[in-house]
Amino acid sequence: MTEGRWQLLPPLSDEEYRALKADIAAQGVLVPVVIDADSGETVEGHHRLRAWTELRAEGVKMPPYPREVRRFASDDERISFVVAANLFRRHLSRDQRVDLVARLRSEGWSLRRIGDAVGVEEITVRRDLEGATYVAPERIEGADRKSYPIRRPSIVVDSDRDQSRATEALRILGDDAPTKLLSLGAAEERARDARFARLRAVTVPPKIECPAYELRLGDLREIWADVPDGSLDCLVVDPPYDEAGIPLFEDLARLALRVLKPGRLAAIYCGHLHLDAELELLKKGGLTYVWHAVNLLPGQHTQIHSHMINGRHRSVMLASAGTFTPRRWIHDAYFAEGKGGPDTRPLHKWQQAIEPVSHWVQAVSEPGEVVFDPFMGSGTTAVAAVTEGRRFLGGDIDPACVETTRRRLVELNAERHDDETGA
């Protein structure tokens, strides 16, 4: 073992070290330095020992420092002792925490165990490791102190885009990935479920307000009562169109009819199998049918086995609140050109791609206007709206969706700031 191996936490800042040294000069070393009984190494108390040694060399009369000679059963027990003995006295910055998390991971600690020791959630440990440099262990030790071989799942893909999707899915799964060959679809489904389970443990406020957007948590039939009638510029939405979600089309239409400015458009993604019912409910809710538009998608995107149909488009219904008032020419077909599927992050099982949604945001609104989406899902409309210079207002009944949208908007703001500053 090399000298200083057990100095796991980052060194004190110059100011912190000067304060510690001054205190030791005045009072001596009050907390014993812990010595390994087997090797004679210092396990805990490096800064105290350094300060004591420097003071002696400077001619300050110092009493001997107290020492606790301790026997440890293993290196892992030494690491656990150092972390436990120091964290309650140290307030780590994010960079310092990342360094510690990476060190513990290199030592073979599981993500959950690291989170418990450092006092953060497992999802925070995952994020810390994304930007850290560390040696991936061959085995991990969990909170139960049992050692397990680190899992080596794999996914076979045939394109650069799918490689990025596979990498992201495995990153999200982490230690929870099964040790077997997975299909990309199965891996993304597992990653979505795991990610949402973690996000649902996050406390999400009922309303999140920023200059460029406002997000709300709750049922669309309850959380928009304070929005003034006829106050919003447009609606771009991808509601659930499985059988359980179909009845919500009428509620969506009633809400849109009330809050949209007269004659303004709603661009509503619709499913194929129940298109007749969806249109009937939109009409029943009071919206006026304007046009049937489509996103044309290359490749084989949807297989409807019951009808033996390969779906290669998504329907987008344009409906208005009252008599439609045209404001600009609208292209009723968007050619996705390979970008019709979701991006490389498995954020939601019904996730849409940014580019087609951006097209409809541009088609039904002007810069500076408000884009409304009461079924945010993974926040694609939110990102498209803010990117296109609109203000976004949206909500979802699932706290994981609200938190996902918030994080994507925070990331977008950071990326735009970096672009502007050249960072």
CA–CA separation, 360 and 318 (whole Å) = 10
CATH fold of 207-421 reads Rossmann fold (3.40.50)
Whether 1 shows a pLDDT value over 50: the answer reads no
Is residue 319 within 8 Å of residue 249, measured between CB atoms? no
Reported as a single tens digit per residue, the pLDDT across 128-165 is 777 677 666 666 665 565 655 555 566 767 777 777 77
Helix (H) or strand (E) holding 213: strand 213-217
Reported as a single tens digit per residue, the pLDDT across 305-352 is 888 888 888 899 999 999 999 999 999 999 876 444 445 455 555 567
CA–CA separation, 75 and 61 (whole Å) = 35
CA–CA separation, 396 and 220 (whole Å) = 7
pTM exceeds 0.85, yes or no: no
* DSSP sequence for 259-327: HBPTT-EEEEEE-STTHHHHHHHHHHTTPEEEEEEEEE-SS--EEETTTTEEE-EEEEEEEESSS----
Name the more confident of 276 and 158: 276
pLDDT of residue 340: 44
Q: Which of 103, 19, 113, 21 is nearest to 62 (CA)?
A: 21
Reported as a single tens digit per residue, the pLDDT across 212-247 is 999 999 999 999 999 999 999 999 999 998 888 899
Is residue 321 within 8 Å of residue 289, measured between CB atoms? no
Is residue 112 within 8 Å of residue 142, measured between CB atoms? yes
> CATH 3.40.50.150 spans which residues of the chain?
207-421
**HSE-up of 421 (CA within 13 Å, CB side)?**
7
**Coil, helix or strand at residue 50:** helix
In three-state form (DSSP H/G/I as H, E/B as E, the rest C), the secondary structure along 116-170 is HHHCCCHHHHHHHHHCCCCCCCCEEECCCCCEEECCCCEECCCCHHHHHHHHHHH
Angle of helix 160-173 relative to helix 184-199, nearest 10 degrees, comes to 40
Q: Which of 131, 151, 153, 129 is nearest to 139 (CA)?
A: 151
Q: What is the largest CA-CA distance in the chain?
A: 91
Mean predicted lDDT score pLDDT of the chain: 82
- In the numeric block, which tokens belong to residue 139? 């085995």
**HSE-up of 29 (CA within 13 Å, CB side)?**
24
- Choice among 62-66, 93-97, 137-141, 274-278 with the minimum mean pLDDT: 137-141
Q: Phi and psi for 206 in degrees, rounded to 5?
A: -65, -20
pLDDT band at 415; cut points 50, 70, 90: confident
User: Residue 184: which residues within 8 A CB-CB, separation 6 or more?
Assistant: 155, 157, 162, 165, 166, 169
Reported as a single tens digit per residue, the pLDDT across 345-355 is 555 555 678 89
Burial 58-86 (b: 16+ CB within 10 A, else e): eeeebeebeeeebebeeeeebbbbbbeeb
